């Protein structure tokens, strides 16, 4: 007995445990809500896809945790027979027998009709509808049933059409002849009356497809087609009509846009779904009832059709949605465009940096040139010291001659009778001497003037002669004999004659310095001109002096390199910079026997050389050879 009791007790505990688990499970299950959306049409249609997406989006965002959504497609338009209604009813009954549906949404008029006939399938469920035109079956569901109604209204679409085509005189309204179409005709005629008599409105009702297409093709400017058809396979008909018609076609439903019509004023399926989803949330959370919403209409046009019919986008009402517009370059290739802009910006920055660098280089170059000019000037001034003796002699000679000639002339004039013949000759001498003194001063001024190089065709032989004149005094004092070997037919070089004289004078003075240790009879200087290098003319200054000291040879042309106790070491560096500025070369080498030779090569340019006649060959003891 006791063991029997224990067994019963054990069994009772097990039963209680199972019941408890089932209770807990049912409490958990009770927490969730189930929504069934019944579409009257088949799946895959634009309207059911759009509405379904809208409903689900709102429900999932407002009630994310406790919701199960089912969608069923009754396919009642393609199978309108009663048997299909019954088949679907059995199917739904069996499928949802074990599940309590909290809310059934009837999507579209056929689904409302189905639900009105089979209300007993979901006796405890709340009902609502979406996307239905005014249907007598709505009242059969429940007079206070909530839902989203499609208000069919041809006026906004006709208004959009007339705005785009203001010269329209006639609207051809194309409608079907099904029972639904007939109701719709009555309302459309009433609504469109607002446009008469300004616009002539003509109704083409229930034409066969071939008649409709033929008649539409004959339509001409001033007329538009307003398609208000229902019925089966209307999408295909709209496409054919829009293609065949001789004038633009307008229509009301969203999914007609894209089939060839210009556009229409319509509520989008997504909007209908969104409104339905919001009503569903109200019903599930607050048990609301009697909510009726009509979604706002939007003007939608097909950009390609605007182009096809030459319709001006500027005439569209503000807020119109323009579909099928090709994406702009920016929209299509955003990253490529950004990359190109970045590359261009980078390029611009690089170019700017290069320009700044080039400007800096130019400025630095200008400063360098200025410094070189000043250095060259300094060099010339240092030569002034060297030449002061020669200058004194050069000017003293004519002044002494002028003085003694003036005294002699005075004496000739004091004679009785005055010797005017002799006096005249003396005055000629005075004039010639003063001219000579003037020339000397003029040349020296040119030499010591600080100025930019003036390149001009220069006769090298003439320059040599002038330099020898300038160095005349120094050559005499040092007892240096000069030999010139001047090439005949020497082409002119492009040079600044003053700077070139400065260079040659410097070389002549250096040659004299190098020969101070030589015996007086062994001091000879040779200046030669030639045109051996292609494109260059040369002048060389050769002496028989000490030669270039080995320890300065490498740095000969660097500034402040000197072997002389009183030297500056600037002469050769200035000379080289002057010659290089001319595009030429200055070089130096020791002669095989004795002394050194300095050579200047300058680019040929300008006219043929002209021979310059020396003022006094005897004075400078020049021996000319060709």
- Residue numbers at the binding site for ligand ADP (CB under 6 A): 506, 510-511, 514, 543, 545-549, 552, 556, 561-564, 567-572, 596
Say which residue the tokens 């179409």 belong to. Answer: 181
User: Can you read off the two tokens belonging to residue 463?
Assistant: 């320059």
Q: Which of 149, 91, 80, 89 is nearest to 119 (CA)?
A: 89
DSSP labels, 184-247 = HHHHHHHHHGGGTTTSEEEEEES--HHHHHHHHHT--TTEEEEE---STTHHHHHHHHHHH-SS
Residue 39 is classified by DSSP as E
Q: How far is the CB of 626 from ligand ADP (least distance, A)?
A: 25
Q: Which residue number, 41 or 598, has a Cβ lying nearer to ligand ADP?
A: 598
Cis before 197 (ω within 30) = yes
What is the distance, to the nearest Å, from the Cα of residue 456 to the centroid of all Cα atoms in its chain? 47
We find the least distance from the C-beta atom of residue 541 to ligand ADP, in angstroms, to be 7
Q: How far is the CB of 586 from ligand ADP (least distance, A)?
A: 11
Q: Which of 383, 376, 593, 381 is nearest to 509 (CA)?
A: 383
133 or 568, CB closer to ligand ADP?
568
DSSP 594: S
Q: Which long-range contacts (CB under 8 A, 24 or more apart) does 251-255 make?
A: 251/157, 251/226, 251/227, 252/152, 252/153, 252/154, 252/157, 252/227, 252/228, 253/47, 254/46, 254/47, 254/50, 254/300, 255/45, 255/46, 255/47
Question: Could you tell me whether strands 481-485 and 249-251 are parallel, antiparallel, or unpaired per DSSP bridges?
Answer: unpaired
* Residues 6+ positions from 446 with CB-CB distance below 8 Å: 498
Euclidean distance between CA atoms 467 and 137, whole angstroms: 125
> Three-state secondary structure along 319-387?
CCEEECCCCCHHHHCHHHHHHHHHHHHHHHHHHHHHHHHHHHHHHHHHHHHHHHHHHHHHHHHHHHHHH
Three-state secondary structure call for residue 104:
strand
Residue in the block written with tokens 């021979």: 611
Residue 102 CA to residue 128 CA, distance in Å, equals 11
The whole-angstrom separation of Cα 166 and Cα 199 is: 11
* DSSP single-letter state for residue 471: T
Question: Among 472, 409, 415, which Cα is nearest to 439's?
Answer: 472
By beta-carbon proximity to ligand ADP, the closer residue of 134 and 517 is: 517
Write down the least CB distance from residue 490 to ligand ADP, Å: 23
Q: Which residue is nearest to ligand ADP (CB)?
A: 571
Cβ proximity to ligand ADP: between 192 and 387 the closer is: 387
């Amino acid at each position: 007995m006791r063991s029997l009791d224990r067994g019963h007790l054990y069994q009772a505990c097990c039963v209680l445990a199972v019941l408890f688990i089932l209770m807990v499970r049912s409490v958990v299950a009770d927490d969730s809500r189930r929504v069934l959306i019944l579409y009257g049409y088949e799946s895959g249609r634009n309207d059911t896809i759009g509405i379904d997406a809208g409903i689900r989006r709102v429900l999932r965002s407002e009630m994310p945790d406790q919701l199960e959504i089912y969608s069923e497609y009754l396919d009642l338009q393609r199978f309108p027979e009663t048997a299909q209604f019954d088949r679907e009813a059995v199917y739904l009954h069996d499928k949802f027998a074990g599940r309590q549906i909290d809310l059934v949404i009837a999507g579209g008029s056929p689904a409302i009709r189905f639900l009105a006939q089979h209300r007993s399938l979901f006796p405890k469920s709340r009902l609502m509808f979406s996307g239905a035109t005014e249907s007598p079956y709505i009242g059969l569901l429940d007079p206070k049933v909530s839902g989203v109604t499609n208000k069919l209204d041809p006026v906004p679409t006709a208004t959009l059409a007339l705005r785009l085509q203001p010269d329209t005189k006639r609207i051809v309204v194309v409608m079907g002849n099904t029972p639904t179409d007939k109701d719709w005709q009555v309302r459309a005629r009433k609504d469109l009356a607002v446009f008469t008599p300004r616009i002539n409105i003509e109704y083409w009702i229930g034409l066969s497809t071939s008649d409709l297409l033929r008649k539409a093709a004959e339509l001409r400017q001033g007329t538009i087609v307003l398609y208000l058809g229902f019925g089966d396979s209307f999408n295909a008909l709209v496409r054919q009509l829009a293609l065949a018609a001789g004038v633009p076609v307008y229509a009301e439903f969203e999914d007609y846009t894209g089939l060839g019509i210009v556009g229409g004023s319509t509520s989008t399926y997504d909007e209908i779904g969104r409104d339905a989803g919001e009503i569903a949330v109200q019903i599930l959370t607050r048990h609301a009832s009697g909510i009726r919403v009509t979604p706002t209409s939007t003007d939608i046009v097909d950009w390609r059709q605007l182009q096809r019919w030459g319709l001006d986008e500027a005439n569209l009402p503000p807020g119109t949605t323009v579909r099928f517009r090709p994406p702009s370059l920016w929209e299509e290739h955003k990253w490529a465009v950004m990359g190109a802009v970045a590359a261009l910006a980078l390029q611009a920055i690089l170019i700017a940096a290069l320009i700044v660098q080039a400007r800096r280089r130019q400025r630095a170059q200008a400063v360098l040139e200025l410094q070189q000019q000043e250095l060259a000037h300094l060099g010339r001034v240092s030569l002034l010291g060297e030449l002061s003796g020669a200058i004194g002699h050069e000017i003293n000679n004519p002044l002494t001659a002028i003085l003694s000639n003036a005294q002699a002339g005075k004496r000739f004039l004091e004679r009785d009778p005055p010797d005017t013949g002799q006096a005249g000759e003396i005055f000629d001498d005075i004039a010639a001497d003063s001219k000579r003194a003037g020339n000397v001063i003029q040349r020296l001024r040119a030499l010591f003037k600080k100025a930019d190089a003036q390149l001009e065709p220069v006769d090298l032989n003439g320059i040599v002669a002038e330099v020898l004149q300038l160095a005349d005094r120094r050559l005499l004092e040092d007892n240096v004999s000069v030999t010139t070997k001047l090439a005949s037919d020497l082409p002119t070089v492009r040079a600044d004659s003053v700077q070139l004289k400065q260079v040659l004078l410097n070389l002549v003075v250096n040659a004299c310095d190098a020969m101070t240790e030589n015996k007086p009879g062994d001091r000879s200087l040779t200046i030669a001109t030639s045109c051996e290098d292609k494109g260059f003319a040369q002048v060389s200054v050769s002496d028989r002096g000490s030669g270039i000291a080995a320890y300065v040879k490498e740095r000969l042309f660097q500034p402040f390199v000197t072997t002389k106790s009183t030297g500056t070491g600037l002469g050769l560096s200035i000379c080289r910079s002057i010659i290089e500025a001319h595009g030429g070369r200055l070089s130096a080498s020791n002669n095989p026997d004795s002394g050194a030779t300095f050579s200047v090569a300058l680019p040929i340019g300008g006219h043929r050389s002209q021979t310059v006649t020396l003022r006094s060959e005897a004075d400078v003891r020049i021996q000319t050879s060709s």
